[in-house]
Amino acid sequence: MPQFSLNRLIIAARTGNLISFPTDTVPALATLPIHAELIFQAKQRSQDKPLILMVGEVADIWQFTKGTEQELEIWQAVADRYLPGALTMVLPASDLLPAVMNPLGDRTIGLRVPDCNIARSILRQTGALATTSANLSGAPPLLTMAEISHNFSQVFTLDTDLNTPTAGQPSTVIEWTNSGWKLLRQGTIKFIETD
């Protein structure tokens, strides 16, 4: 599939298609949350691997979470320190989140705000998107729009000069538990677990 302008890409996303765009880590494969199954199909992804919900502003995160006032303060403090950036916070999910985003059924969701102007511009216009890296499950992430366009014929990719590799390292993933933060994946950001 050819590459598309920013406006065409946004229209494609809004109408329920798979899209791809650069981020501050690796390029995202994305769609509206209610169409998240498209990502699992395209990647041949196991149903035991939840997707990440990417939003354009830190303030957009909280409608998709459910916690106590004290928890929200703790989460906000981490968001204030690290976001936008290469950190994914796994938090209890609100009822706004379609179940297909996390087939495990544990009602949690990874949330991220990329530190990338193009990505955030797209997300501000599409709203929150279900995302993951652009690759077949188990394969290394594809790092350019040209590679993604070549390997995923059904994906609308952004026509951009950014066909050089991005940071190439995935986001750091932390999960909120009853005893504090748990580090699930070490990425670009060095995060220290709390007890």
Q: Provide mean pLDDT across the span 152-176.
A: 80
In the chain, the DSSP E strands lie at 3-4, 19-21, 28-31, 52-54, 87-92, 108-112, 129-133, 156-158, 172-177, 180-185
Average pLDDT over residues 14-28: 95
Mean of pLDDT values over 12-16: 97
Q: What is the percent of the chain with per-residue pLDDT over 70, rounded to a whole number?
A: 94
- Partners of residue 129 on adjacent β-strands: 54
Instruction: Inform me whether the pLDDT recorded for 195 exceeds 90.
Output: no
pLDDT given for residue 179 in this prediction: 83
Architecture of the 3-185 domain: Alpha-Beta Complex (3.90)
Record the tokens describing residue 111, joined without a space: 């949330």
Position 161 scores a pLDDT of 59
> What does the alpha-carbon distance between residue 113 and residue 110 come to, in Å, rounded to a whole number?
11
163-175 mean pLDDT: 76
The full set of domain ranges for the chain reads 3-185
**pLDDT at residue 163 is higher than 60:** no
Q: Per-residue pLDDT tens for 102-156?
A: 988 889 999 999 999 999 999 999 999 999 999 999 899 999 888 999 999 999 9
Give pLDDT, residue 165: 46
